[in-house]
Every structure is written in C-alpha cells, then in structure tokens.
Structure 1
Amino acid sequence: MTDGAFRRGRRIGVDVGDARIGVASSDPDGMLATPVETVPAGPGSQARLVALAEEYQAVEVVLGLPRSLNGGEGPAAAKVRRYAGELAARLAPAGVPVRLVDERMSTVTAAQGLRASGVKSKKGRSVIDQAAAVVILQSALEGEKTSGRPPGQLVEPDETAAPSEG
C-alpha cells in the first residue's frame, strides 16, 4: 500500500440537492461514515458546511458528483461542480481540500436501505439526504483503501465565486 492509504483524519461527505444537503462524517481512521445532519440548500448552506468541517476538524470534504448511468454529466453535475468550486474557495484558507466523487445511484441506494429499515419516504426525506451522504462518503473511503490514493477529483477553488452562496 502507498502512503496515501494511511491518511488519518475525519472526512465530511456531502450530497448536494436542490432543496436539502445531506452531510455525513467519517471516524478519524476513515473506516466508517455516519450521518451528521441535513442542511437547507441555498443562502447559508456553504457557511454551515464550512462550520461543520471546522467542528469535525475535517481533513477533506467529499461531494457527490451526479452522473448519468452512462457516466455523462448534465445540468445537475454542472451545478454541483460550481458549488464545489465555491466551497473549495471558502475552505482553502483552512487548508481543507474538496474532492468530487461519482455518486451514481447513491440516493436510490440510500432510499432502498431506509425503506428496508421501515423509514417512510415522506418522513424520511432529510434522513435520505443524510443516508445518501453516508453512501457517497463510505464509497470514497473504500475506494481510497483499495487504491491507496485519495478518492475522486480534487476541486480547484473558484476564487471568483467565493462570496456567493449556493
């Protein structure tokens, strides 16, 4: 295994949606992702994510990149890329990198798991967002363990967009 396989520190996993943003965190050894909270999308969401990264002393933030089943990117992926660039700019002063990882089927997987546990979809929407963040982060953690490299794609901070909120 390479040195990258032994990176210690908590990671924050994020599932960006139009209405809600699911957040998960890992343990300091990067073994297990657990739900944290659901943040309302819109003004203030990035400030809350920055606060959570600080609170959890995150070594990185991992956002799910929605791709189509064939791997292509549409408007939702473009929106998440913009959001990730803005978030990376906000986290850059703290030295916390942002990474994008493929999140195909994360919400579907989370919803199926919750349904199997007896959670009703109407009551469980915010829980589904957190569970999707757990799926995204757990997948990233397992990918890193397998490859020995940080997961996904590093996001360059979008300095021009830093002041705005998404």
Structure 2
Amino acid sequence: MKTLGIDFGLKRVGLALTDPAGSMAFPHKTIERVERHGQSGRDALFAELVDIVAQEGVELIVVGWPAPPDGIDSMTARQATNFAASMARRVTVPVLLMDETLSSSEALDDLRAAGVKQAKRKAILDQQAAVRILQSYIAAPDAARPVERKY
C-alpha cells in the first residue's frame, strides 16, 4: 500500500513516500508554506498535497504528531491534529496520526551520519523526518490513530 508520510510544520512540510508495497520509505519533497498563484499558503499547501496523493497513487496518509507524554496536547500537537483533519476532508484515503517524537532530531542525526553538509541539511531535514515517521508506522502500524472526518 503506497503511503504518504507528512512531517507537518508551520514554515515547511516534509514529505516521504513508501514503495508500492509499503515496506520502505523514501524522501519525496519539502513544501514551503508560501502564497502561490493567488492562494494563501494554507490553500496552496493543501492543493499541492491533494495533487501528490492523486499523481502518486497514495492509498494512505500518515501525519506526524507529537504525542503528549502527560496526556495534554501541546499547541504543536493540536496544530498537527487540525492539519490532519483538514487533510482528511480533502482526500478519500485514510489519514492517520503517528507519534513523531524525536523524528526531527533523529533525522538530523541521520543526515550528519550520512555526511550531508550543513547548508543542505535544512532543505532536506523535513523530508528525512517524514521518512522517520513512515518507518515508525511501517514498524508498528497499530500505534497510529485514525483521524475523524469532520465536515
């Protein structure tokens, strides 16, 4: 099952895709949240994501969510949840939330270990974090939680 992983951020959104079998994750792209073609940054982001879902034959979306250790959602967790719910309203495929705790710091460690120069890290860090989110989902799909479609 081809899956899209999303590392949600207020400035940049990192994307990763699995192979068609859904067993390996690969970086796809980073979307800068800026106004495009007269659309707000939010509208342009969702339009591009919907296009990617259609073009890539995505069957499932996994959005990174910073799970609160104390059971109380942080502002970032609420923003990721709202983003995932907005995405679920725009596509017909299931949307899940997956704990992304430490995904960005682990992604940075991965890039350093791979010898990626500091100047290039910023451009691909969000994609690598999305890869980490997908790898977590592949390893433990039952740990993801579904997003309700609220219209």
TM-score, normalised with respect to structure 1: 0.80
Task: Quote the offset at 1:71 in angstroms.
Answer: 6.1
Equivalent residue in structure 1 for 2:3, among 6, 11, 18: 11
| Counterpart residue type for residue 141 of structure 1 | I
Counterpart for residue 144 of structure 2: 152
Alignment partners' CA distance in 2, 1:59 and 1:98: 9
| Structure 2: runs of 5+ lacking an equivalent | 34-40
| Counterpart residue type for residue 62 of structure 1 | V
- Size of the alignment, in residue pairs? 143
The answer on whether the counterparts of 1:23 and 1:133 sit within 8 Å (CA) in structure 2 is yes
Cα RMSD (Å): 1.6
Equivalent residue in structure 2 for 1:36, among 12, 16, 28: 28
Counterpart for residue 45 of structure 1: 45
| Matching of residues 21-32 of structure 1 within 5 Å | 21-32=13-24
The answer on whether the counterparts of 1:20 and 1:126 sit within 8 Å (CA) in structure 2 is no
Q: Is residue 2:126 matched to residue 1:129?
A: yes
Task: Quote the offset at 1:72 in angstroms.
Answer: 4.7
| Structure 1: runs of 5+ lacking an equivalent | 1-8, 160-166
Greater Cα offset, 98-107 or 43-52 = 43-52
The answer on whether the counterparts of 1:33 and 1:134 sit within 8 Å (CA) in structure 2 is yes
| Counterpart residue type for residue 46 of structure 1 | F
Counterpart for residue 162 of structure 1: none
Percentage of pairs with the same residue: 35
1:102-132 residue CA offsets vs partner (Å, 9 max, x unmatched): 0000000000010111223343112010000
The answer on whether the counterparts of 1:25 and 1:34 sit within 8 Å (CA) in structure 2 is yes
Alignment partners' CA distance in 2, 1:121 and 1:81: 31
Equivalent residue in structure 2 for 1:120, among 101, 117, 120: 117
| Counterpart residue type for residue 58 of structure 1 | V
Task: Quote the offset at 1:11 in angstroms.
Answer: 0.3
TM-score, normalised with respect to structure 2: 0.88
Task: Quote the offset at 1:25 in angstroms.
Answer: 0.4
